[in-house]
Amino acid sequence: MILVLGVTASGKARLGFELARSLAGEILSVDSMKVYRRMDIGTAKPSRDAQQEVRHHLIDVVEPSESFSVGLFLERALAAIEDIRSRGKTVVAVGGTALYLKALLYGLFDGPGSDEFIRAELRAQAQREGLGKLHEALRQIDPDAAARIDPNDAKRIIRALEVFRLTGKPISSFQKQFDAQQPMHDWTLLGLRREKAEESQRMNARVKRMIEQGLVDEVRSLLAEDKPLSQQARCAIGYAEIIEHLQGRISLEDAIEEIKKNTRRLAKGQRTWFKTFKGVHWLDVGPEESAESVLERAKRELDA
């Protein structure tokens, strides 16, 4: 039971793949956007060849028009783990969606209920004033949650504000119960860490590759489908900005810069989340270090 985590573009997918290949394992994707079919380039999905060589789970499981929750993820993830282990394979979970990682380790926390009236009011406010205003309001009442939630993630921003209105308490105070829990399975956690400057360079390089690989055409094709994209899919980094471009609101150059900026924000939120994870064996990766070297170091950690 191995869990590989790290910020976006850290190299965790490569390490997870190599570990699974060398340990006769299968990969469990812990990513809130790789679940969507036909959203391939912008989510940096593993190639078809890689998926044929090593079996992957929880990739391409729902349509882009559908919503997908952490509860659905956990249900399917636990079923996949049982299936993998029943065949004598090693589970190699790989991901950077912190809320999904927390759920995988500790289960779901019992938060307060919902109020559709409050949600509708917040959605209307977001349409009138922009999502940025809501994210700033969240930062004022719950800076911990605001640091973890991407400014484009309308669903989670609205939920956090809803919880505060319902209870008078920040949502992060409910989530802290994770800290006292024990993992549901016997996981070994491996984390990849790089210097922030190098991480930023890798993120910018990834965005450039995505554009070269045809991200704009991928988004255009998704928008042309009969069923509209779900709010969750539309908010995905890389897709939200290109949608803005295709709708004539910003230039392609500005959209690319927005993707880079929002990716850096996502990484900042991931770093904040990961600080709360216990028992992570962190591998500090150098700028010139090869994937083979990282794999060997990871294996030594597992042996230890």
Per-residue pLDDT tens for 43-97? Answer: 999 999 999 999 999 999 999 999 998 889 999 999 999 999 999 999 999 998 9
* 286 and 193 Cβ atoms separated by less than 8 Å: no
Between 27-41, 122-136, 248-262, the lowest mean confidence (pLDDT) is in: 122-136
Q: For the chain, which residues make up each domain, given as ranges?
A: 2-107+181-303, 116-176
What's the distance, CA 61 to chain centroid?
16
**Predicted TM-score (pTM) of this structure:** 0.81
From the candidate CATH numbers 3.40.50.300, 3.30.70.930, 3.30.750.210, 3.90.550.10, the one assigned to the domain spanning 2-107+181-303: 3.40.50.300
Give per-residue pLDDT as tens, 180-227.
556 677 899 999 999 999 999 999 999 999 999 999 999 999 999 999
Strand partners, 92: 2, 27
Same CATH fold assignment for domains 2-107+181-303 and 116-176: no
CB atoms within 10 A of CB 277: 18
- pLDDT score of 115: 84
Q: What CA–CA distance (Å, rounded) separates 2 from 166?
A: 38
Rounded to an integer, the average pLDDT of 267-293 is 92
DSSP assignment letter at 27: E
The residues pairing with 188 across neighbouring beta strands, listed in sequence order, are 2
Q: Which fold, 116-176?
A: Histone, subunit A (1.10.20)
Tell me what the mean pLDDT of segment 7-30 comes to.
96
- What percent of the chain shows pLDDT beyond 90? 77
Contact 188, 1 (CB under 8 A): yes
Give the chain's mean pLDDT: 92
